[in-house]
Amino acid sequence: MGKKWTPGSTPTYSSFSVVSNQQQDESPWAADEHQRFLQALEQFGGGQCVSLMQAWQSITTAVGTRDIAQVVFHARLYFAQLQQLNVQKRQERQFMQSVDQRWTPDEDAAFENMLAAFSTSSVCYPWELMASRLPGKSPVDLKERYQKLCYDVARIESGQHVTMHFGQFPRHSGLPLSTKAAAIGESGRLASQMTSPRVLDSVVTLTPAEEQILVNAMAEVFVPPEAPADLLAGIASAVAAFTSSNGRLPPQRTQPLFAKEQALEVLNGLLAAQQSDPQVVLETLAV
Q: pLDDT tens across 108-120, in order?
A: 888 888 888 887 7
Q: What is the pLDDT of residue 67?
A: 92
- The span from the CA of 234 to the CA of 228, in Å, is 11
Share of the chain above pLDDT 90, in %: 7
Kindly state the average pLDDT of the residues 48-60. Answer: 88
Q: What is the pLDDT of residue 207?
A: 77
Domain 7-84 shares a fold with domain 87-194: yes
pLDDT class of 36 with cuts at 50, 70, 90: very high
pLDDT at res. 60: 93
Nearest to 186 by CA among 58, 88, 59: 88
- Could you tell me which CATH class the domain 7-84 is placed in? mainly alpha
Question: What is the pLDDT averaged over residues 28-51?
Answer: 87
Asked if the model's pLDDT at residue 33 lies above 80, the reply is: yes
Beta bridge partners of 124: 202
Q: List, in sequence order, every residue forming a beta bridge with 202; answer none if it has no partner.
A: 124
- Alpha-carbon gap, residue 276 to 227, rounded angstroms: 10
> Residue 3: beta bridge partners?
none
Q: Lowest mean pLDDT: which of 48-52, 75-79, 80-84, 192-196?
A: 192-196
- What average pLDDT is seen over the chain? 69
Q: What is the pTM of this model?
A: 0.38
pLDDT, tens digit (0-9, with 9 covering 90-100), for 184-243: 344 444 444 444 444 455 556 677 787 788 778 877 877 777 766 666 666 666 666 655
- Tell me the domain boundaries of the chain: 7-84, 87-194, 208-286
- Any idea what DSSP says for residue 143? H
Domain spanning 87-194: CATH 3.40.1160.10: no
